Structure 1
Amino acid sequence: MTKILSFSVLLTIMLGTPMLSKAQSDTLLVPAKECSVRGGLPYFFAKVKAGQAVKIAYLGGSITEAAGGWREQSLAWFRQQYPKASIEQVSAAIGGTGSDLGVFRLKEQVLNFQPDLVFVEFAVNDDGKNPEQISVAMEGIVRQIWQANPHTDICFVYTLTAGMAPTLAKGYFPRSASTMEKIANYYAIPSIHLGLEVVRLAEKGELVFSGKLDEFPGKLVFSADNVHPYPQTGHRLYTEALARAFKVLETAGTKRKKQLKEPLFANNWGRAQMISAKQSTRSAGWLEITPTTDSVARKLSNRFAFLLKATTPGARIQVRFRGTHFGVYDVMGPGCGQFRVVIDGQETKLYPRFDRFCTYYRSNYFLLPALPDGVHTVELYVDAQKLDKAAILKQRNVTIIDPKPYEPQDCYAGQFLVIGEILDN
């Protein structure tokens, strides 16, 4: 008789990684739990139970952004559970982005709408990132929220990929979620893992992680790609997990202190902000583009209220700022080239704005290395070097059929990512 391997063992063999991989070993993994109550969500429950108007903000990546996914399903569940309350959502999820961008866009895209509850979902997109970077970004998110309003409740939400399943099946959170749990513990923030039931069903042979919905009769198919759940299966399981956790949170009756504790990390990103690229000195060659004048601006109008574009090599943007970090929220796509960045007149580094996924235009971002706290000048030049886009796309076995869309080497700039403040040039 053929021996049937458990899902976790089988997936470990397929992925070629040990159950607790080397990538996980530099951070102590914490035991996996579907819901940790901690300080609870006292202010949110007080308002919805009283039938008051509340706003729920969803800050995350593509799993949270997905139409028909757990965000929309959970919103419908909240409205059903609390019919007397007027419940609105603030959708602040952007695909392919992690906490290192979320902390910068938090004020503009979440806090300006005065939410009562903020879900923070970055465990998947932060997977593989340095634990310290995750920590300072996540703590920055927490401190910004409570500095704006100590009555705003926060809940960390963790999702998963098939690659995380072996660690979860062994009873531990993967590295990114384990790192976030330390922040959650310190600030008494409740956390919910939406995927533990997914892993349990996979272990029982009742769920497969990837495939078409009709390929596996009698089984649930979680996703098409091991990451992004189908609304009717994976996202439904996520929503059911959230509903179970909220039943626990509602009856817990815990409260948290209003006072903001001393920071866990002195270098946390609590001062992070996103500033329009309008606040820069620009050479000739940089033009503002709008949805009525440019197809890229039109496609990304939900990302950028203001967008600059340059097509001429050597076109320059200059920014002076006081602080420790600087970055650019911009565009990557078929017609993009690369930035040459000069820091304080000395360091030069290239930031390509084209990668193996650039068969379409999408918003993206990059951060410069940390700088000593002080005044700095950053110059962004459109680099003259042409990227070998065909070779880059071949990394995904993609062949360029029509070379024309790939010929430009343009650069874009929408927002600056600053820990500190922009200064006059």
Structure 2
Amino acid sequence: MTLQVWKHRGSLKHTKAKIIEGKLTVGFIGGSITDARPRHNWPEPVIGWLAEQFPHTRIAVENAAIGATGSDLAAFRAKRDLIDRGCDLVFVEYAVNDEGTASEQRGRSREGLIRQLLADGERDVVLVYTYSSGMYEAMSSGEVPDTIGEFERIADHYGISSIWMGLHAFEEVKRGLIRFEEWLPDGLHPTSRGSLSYGASVIQFLRQQLDKAASVDSDSCADEASEHAAPAELPAPLDAKCWDDVYELPLESIHTTGPWTLRRWPYYEWIDRVLETAAIGARLSFEFEGRGLALGFDFGKASAEFRYRIDGGEWQTEQRERPDWVGADGWYRLSYYGDDWLPRKHRFEVEVIHGNRPDCSGTNFRLAKVGIIR
């Protein structure tokens, strides 16, 4: 089997139209490999190329990637961090961060994210796949890793293009153009040289897709872009339970017992406010309409654990792992509680506990998001 770096499915019609108009907003969402904060990740050369290639177009950038997060959290962030910010072209990168998530769950969150981005017919979406050591055996044998193959099924269904950046760099290593340690010093996260390789594969894709926007006179290209810009109806979902209809429960609506505060959160740009306590035994509860629930936290080694119950059932104790790399806080972590419940009103209750574990040094409970799946 021949593996492919680039799969062109359709054209970047919205991107071309916005370049002609003179104002293009490019969005990125993914994990640490796409996160803007290191300032050397692959979006940087891509942004630089766009700005150089189209000097008469104002390029705006909305990089919404967050390290150590997956498409599950992204499904609840798409509206706030990409759609409402007017993104015309969005790159989605979750092949690596979703690897440890069950296939069915990641399929639903990925498809839900993509359907949200495509629903209003106002933007182009491109999938990009990076690399992790777990992909080595499959790629060396000429096979597609499961996490990428599942993404490709979604890409085929919705007619959106994909770029296998990890394969592009992998092939460079095989050809002696880059050393593996230059690409991935820690086996996962590229520094400047590896990011440049990833970015080069995206630039090559964009060069092919946007050549017409750069070379044809603006009047004829504008006519073409306008002709094809009408939104098309989305096909039926691959999974009827994908997360395309989600909403957030306002933190103000949550009932609390004990010492709680609702705080604006200046410590993490992706979190507006948190509902916070450090008191063992403090409780909260809320009701919601839907078939599934996920909670987002500012989480770390100093975070409390908690026990919870659904619809008055048995209490269950949360036991979240705390990897060595995580600090006392600062990890925007999502906890998922299911999406197969009956679509009706449910009640969720929480009681804060210490956890009494060696890797649990505090009792900080900082709830940042209550995400509901309908």
TM-score, normalized by the shorter chain, greater than 0.5: yes
The one-letter amino acid of 1:386's match is N
CA displacement at 1:317 relative to structure 2: 1.4
1:388 aligns to what? 358
Aligned residue pairs total 355
The one-letter amino acid of 1:150's match is G
CA distance in 2 between counterparts of 1:190 and 1:367 reads 29
Matched, 1:349 2:316: yes
Matched, 1:368 2:340: no
2:187 aligns to what? 226
1:337 aligns to what? 304
- Equivalent position SS for 1:64: coil
Which residue of 235, 238, 249 maps to 1:261?
235
Which residue of 189, 196, 210 maps to 2:167?
196
The one-letter amino acid of 1:69's match is N
| Percent of residue pairs identical | 26
In the TM superposition, what whole-angstrom CA distance separates every residue of 1:215-273 from its partner, at most 9, and x where no partner exists? xxxxxx11221111012x10000111111111222358996972211222111110123
Uncovered stretches (5+) of structure 1, i.e. residues with no partner: 1-29, 211-220, 291-296, 391-405, 421-425
Alignment of 1:20-419 (within 5 A): 32-48=3-19, 50-65=20-35, 66-147=38-119, 149-210=120-181, 221-231=182-192, 233-251=193-211, 258-290=232-264, 297-300=265-268, 302-353=269-320, 355-357=322-324, 358-362=326-330, 363-370=332-339, 371-389=341-359, 406=361, 408-419=362-373
CA distance in 2 between counterparts of 1:72 and 1:247 reads 16
- Equivalent position SS for 1:347: coil
CA distance in 2 between counterparts of 1:336 and 1:104 reads 22
- Equivalent position SS for 1:62: coil
CA displacement at 1:414 relative to structure 2: 1.0
What is the root-mean-square deviation of aligned Cα atoms in Å? 2.2
The one-letter amino acid of 1:367's match is Y
* TM-score (normalised: structure 2): 0.88
CA distance in 1 between counterparts of 2:263 and 2:357 reads 24
CA distance in 2 between counterparts of 1:270 and 1:378 reads 22
In the TM superposition, what whole-angstrom CA distance separates every residue of 1:361-416 from its partner, at most 9, and x where no partner exists? 222120112322211100111025422228xxxxxxxxxxxxxxx3x222110111
The one-letter amino acid of 2:42's match is W
1:393 aligns to what? none
CA displacement at 1:208 relative to structure 2: 3.8
CA distance in 1 between counterparts of 2:301 and 2:238 reads 42
Contact 2:301/2:329 (<8 A) preserved:
yes
In the TM superposition, what whole-angstrom CA distance separates every residue of 1:330-355 from its partner, at most 9, and x where no partner exists? 02223212021111110322223561
Change (3 A) 1:276 1:172: farther
- Equivalent position SS for 2:142: coil
Contact 2:277/2:364 (<8 A) preserved:
yes
CA distance in 2 between counterparts of 1:249 and 1:165 reads 30
* TM-score (normalised: structure 1): 0.78
In the TM superposition, what whole-angstrom CA distance separates every residue of 1:286-309 from its partner, at most 9, and x where no partner exists? 12244xxxxxx4432x12110122
Range moving further from structure 2, 341-350 or 246-255 = 246-255
- Equivalent position SS for 2:197: helix
Contact 1:169/1:199 (<8 A) preserved:
no
Uncovered stretches (5+) of structure 2, i.e. residues with no partner: 213-223
Contact 2:118/2:125 (<8 A) preserved:
no
In the TM superposition, what whole-angstrom CA distance separates every residue of 1:310-330 from its partner, at most 9, and x where no partner exists? 111221111111111111110
CA distance in 1 between counterparts of 2:313 and 2:299 reads 26
- Equivalent position SS for 1:278: helix
Contact 2:34/2:43 (<8 A) preserved:
yes
The one-letter amino acid of 1:415's match is K
The one-letter amino acid of 1:364's match is R
CA displacement at 1:111 relative to structure 2: 0.9
CA distance in 1 between counterparts of 2:99 and 2:321 reads 22
Contact 1:121/1:157 (<8 A) preserved:
yes
